[in-house]
Structure 1
Amino acid sequence: MKWETDSKVLIQGITNPLGVSYATRMKAQGTNIVAGITLDEQTSDTHDIPVFTLVEEAVKQVGPIDISLILTAPYEVLDAGLEAISAGIKQLVIVTSWVPPLDLITLLQQAEVTNTFVLGSGSEGLLVPDKFWLGIMEPTFYSHGPVGIISRCDRLMDELAKTLTKRDLGQSLAVSLGSDRVMGSNFEQWLQIMEEDDTTKAIVFLGQPYSSPELLAAQYIDSAIEKPVVAYLPGIQAPINRSFGDATSIIVSQLSYQTRPTTGDDQTLTALRKAGVKIAKNFEEIPRLIQGIFPRKPRKSRTSTR
């Protein structure tokens, strides 16, 4: 995986509302957007970004592309992803939510065959403060520092970054896995990335309650992660025996993996405690737990003027 300032980025769905808005902002922040793809008949350049109708055509014009940011409609994601893979793009970031689960499974199968990295669907993207921004998070909330964030919660990552930044707890890397039930890259992959990253000194894990990926992540932390981890699972304090998510989420979960019944003695919390993870009971407790990881800076002594 490569996410550097010079990484060449393609936006599929650049003429969609999200594409028009965020392409301009990412380019202004220094993201190297080299081309865009649209299904519209008109392919005029957008904010000095050349626009094409085919990924293959874009690659011929601008050369090899590192990453495709997919902002198409949900039912167009499979075709967009397969087209990007066919053109030799090895990293896909799928911002689009509610991708048909069977479409995403088909795409992930092809990605596995071609060794293509997939983030999402439903991902806000990833960000290295002051270096690289790709997605729809709010970059002004983030600042450079030692805290890595891995999130599977809509927009909560932005709020956490803003809160940490106000307390002088900057971030080394922030990544959104996506809130959809079927995921590309998982917690374990990003936990290992942050474990090996010298700039990351602590990790914040934002997950969903009563969910299999979070349980697997807790088990992985116990076996492979030595850096301190703080976890927050919004909704874990809600009454037990309640099914989270709307009808679509429930159907998708049945297609992707078996949902465990909710019980008072949640397996994920048990596994997190076993792994030595600090568990925040509410959002406001997260910064306090992180501050407890880092030694306090000594106060400057006041020099007497007498």
Structure 2
Amino acid sequence: MAIFVNENTKVLVQGLTGGQGKYHGRRNRDYGTQIVGGVTPGKGGQDVDGIPIFNSVAEAVEATGADASFAAVPPKFASDAIIEAAEAGIGFVVCITEGIPAQDEALTFNRLVREFPNTRLLGPNCPGIISPGKCNIGITAGEIAQEPTADGPNVGIVSRSGTLTYQALYELKQLGIGVSTCVGIGGDPVPGTNFIDCLAEFQNDPETHAIMMLGEIGGSAEEEAAEFIQANVTKPMSAYIAGVTAPAGKKMGHAGAIVSGGKGTAQGKMDALAAAGVKVGLNPTEAGELMGEIVKSL
């Protein structure tokens, strides 16, 4: 199994005719993902490298049976694109767009919760999701992901940072460790899917035998995840938290990565995870090596 997406997932690319949508949409298709159509208002009837374009998500869903969407549109249009997908019955939306105002993110997220509870949003400002060998939605290079094996052990990965997502995948591939699913939740203040959502799915996924978590400074998501792990997660875990040397009060890359009021520090997050039984590495490579030790013991 895998979480959220698998080989049967049918994907639309909102913004397929744009530069980013075209590049990553075709890469996702070439990886083996079922990219069944694209959506660009006013360009219906055209195609991108054989992928049909539709004027609306509703039209595309009716024609293709798509159940997932990859939103690769500018910040100005991203919120509308997400809601349009939800209105059309899309159950899983991946939005890679960076620079969406936090207020727009909050409004969109709460509208999804209130009006479209059957639609899950991943992102925005995230690398996407890959279930190796089955489905890749977003900007992750499929060649760095080790496919899971039937008997395992296989590892599930969840990360706030795109770059750390890629490194975690590569660290495990270097060790020959298969990955069930890797989820990049993004570093914005209002993520559509959080650590706890992914941890709960991995805990219930029989193909996932251990979990690797990559966090960073800012907010309280990692501390909340630690509480959830202590109460609900029985599978062994390793983790890494970025930002040990970050100065307080200064935004570091991600909009959500800011330490304020003595909260959200890397050390505080590391301590919380360690107290929950997670093996915490001091760098991404060490977190990968710790996972290697965990896998050997399974």
Does TM, normalized by the shorter one, top 0.5?
yes
- 1:13 and 1:38 in contact (8 A); partners too: yes
CA RMSD of aligned residues (A): 2.4
Question: Cα distance 1:85–1:211, how it changes in 2: closer, same or farther (>3 A)?
Answer: same
Q: Partner amino acid for 2:255?
A: S
1:26 aligns with 2:28: yes
- Return the alpha-carbon distance in structure 1 between the equivalents of residues 267 and 287 of structure 2: 20
TM-superposition CA deviations, 1:125-181 (whole Å, max 9, x none): 111111111111010001123111101012221122122212112211101001212
**Per-residue deviation, 1:45:** 0.6
Count of aligned pairs: 289
Q: Partner amino acid for 2:272?
A: A
- Return the alpha-carbon distance in structure 1 between the equivalents of residues 127 and 246 of structure 2: 29
- 2:185 and 2:191 in contact (8 A); partners too: yes
- Runs of 4+ with deviation above 3 angstroms: 39-43, 239-242, 262-267
- Return the alpha-carbon distance in structure 2 between the equivalents of residues 284 and 29 of structure 1: 26
Higher relative contact order (CA 8 A, sep 6+): 2
- 1:210 and 1:268 in contact (8 A); partners too: no
Aligned counterpart, 2:136:
133
1:118 aligns with 2:117: no
Look at both structures and tell me which one has the larger radius of gyration over its CA atoms.
1
Aligned counterpart, 1:219:
227
The 5-angstrom pairing of residues 1-306 of structure 1 reads 2-39=4-41, 41=43, 44-62=46-64, 64-113=65-114, 114-115=116-117, 116-145=119-148, 146-236=154-244, 238=245, 241=248, 243-245=250-252, 249=255, 259-262=260-263, 266-295=267-296
Question: Cα distance 1:216–1:30, how it changes in 2: closer, same or farther (>3 A)?
Answer: same
Return the TM-score normalized by structure 2: 0.89
Q: Partner amino acid for 1:218?
A: A
- Return the alpha-carbon distance in structure 2 between the equivalents of residues 60 and 210 of structure 1: 42
- Return the alpha-carbon distance in structure 2 between the equivalents of residues 52 and 202 of structure 1: 41
Question: Cα distance 1:38–1:239, how it changes in 2: closer, same or farther (>3 A)?
Answer: closer
Gaps of 5+ in 1: 298-306
- Return the alpha-carbon distance in structure 1 between the equivalents of residues 237 and 66 of structure 2: 34
Question: Cα distance 1:275–1:286, how it changes in 2: closer, same or farther (>3 A)?
Answer: same
Name the stretch that deviates more: 149-158 or 264-273: 264-273
Q: Partner amino acid for 1:67?
A: A
- Return the alpha-carbon distance in structure 1 between the equivalents of residues 82 and 260 of structure 2: 28
- Return the alpha-carbon distance in structure 1 between the equivalents of residues 162 and 22 of structure 2: 21
Name the stretch that deviates more: 98-107 or 263-272: 263-272
- Return the alpha-carbon distance in structure 2 between the equivalents of residues 265 and 140 of structure 1: 30
Identical amino acids, percent of aligned pairs: 30
- 2:218 and 2:265 in contact (8 A); partners too: no
Question: Cα distance 1:295–1:84, how it changes in 2: closer, same or farther (>3 A)?
Answer: closer
- Return the alpha-carbon distance in structure 1 between the equivalents of residues 181 and 19 of structure 2: 27
- Return the alpha-carbon distance in structure 1 between the equivalents of residues 93 and 58 of structure 2: 15
TM-superposition CA deviations, 1:71-111 (whole Å, max 9, x none): 00011011111111111112111111121212211211221
Name the stretch that deviates more: 11-20 or 36-45: 36-45
Aligned counterpart, 2:151:
none
Return the TM-score normalized by structure 1: 0.86
**Per-residue deviation, 1:264:** 7.8
Question: Cα distance 1:263–1:75, how it changes in 2: closer, same or farther (>3 A)?
Answer: closer
Question: Cα distance 1:264–1:157, how it changes in 2: closer, same or farther (>3 A)?
Answer: closer
- 2:227 and 2:276 in contact (8 A); partners too: yes
TM-superposition CA deviations, 1:249-269 (whole Å, max 9, x none): 27x97xxxx954258894322
